[in-house]
Amino acid sequence: MNDFLQLARDRYSVRSFDPSRPVTDEQVDSIVKAALYAPTAVNNQPFRILVLKSKEAREKAVSCTKMKFIGDAPVIFAVGAKTDEAWVRQYDSKNFAEIDAAIVSTQIMLQIHALGLGSTWIGHFDAPMFKEVFPEMKDTELIALFPAGYPSDEAAPSPRHELSRPEDELVTVL
């Protein structure tokens, strides 16, 4: 468990990639497998992943966001939720699609880091435009984009990386 805690602590948002170092097909497959292993409510797996490897596909993704640095990443993962496939809690009609897709997204980010690559969770993008340029995702609630690649020499954790609110503000033990 200490290895996992170290992995979780060390992972940081990478916003500068080395475009000269490719991500291998084996690495991409490993990231996808980590996503497929993610737990989802009733194991309905109400998510879709779009893997953008070609330069053309990555350029289309860049056109949908102000986060232009994602274009230097050799691969971008897009995660969407399928609300019509998700488990719905009967007591309050809570649909778990976005929660399930967020769990998948977390496993993607952690596996990227475990492979020695870097990424960041991109939520700031034009989802309607993304669905236009990638009709494969038109029936999903887009959750996030994850550029993945080797961090550049300039990549470093944000100064806020180690900051956390006090545990007693966030956790209650009864």
List the chain domain ranges: 20-151
Q: What is the pLDDT of residue 84?
A: 98
Distances (CA, A) of 10 to 14, 34, 96, 119: 12, 18, 29, 12
Q: How would residue 160 be classed by pLDDT, with cut points 50, 70 and 90?
A: confident
Q: What is the pLDDT of residue 124?
A: 98
Name the class of domain 20-151: alpha beta
What values do phi and psi take at 23, rounded to 5? Answer: -95, 130
Q: Is the dihedral of CA 119, 120, 123, 125 positive or negative?
A: negative
The structure tokens listed for 75 are 């691969």
Q: Which of 129, 139, 143 is nearest to 60 (CA)?
A: 129
| pLDDT beyond 60 at 22 | yes
Tell me how far apart the alpha carbons of residues 109 and 35 are, in angstroms, rounded to a whole number.
Answer: 9
Q: What is the pLDDT of residue 163?
A: 85
| pLDDT beyond 70 at 1 | no
How much is the pTM?
0.94
pLDDT digits (tens, 9 = 90+) for 109-141: 999 999 999 999 999 999 999 999 999 999 999
The structure tokens listed for 8 are 């979780």
pLDDT digits (tens, 9 = 90+) for 49-105: 999 999 999 999 999 999 999 999 999 999 999 999 999 999 999 999 999 999 999
| pLDDT beyond 70 at 146 | yes
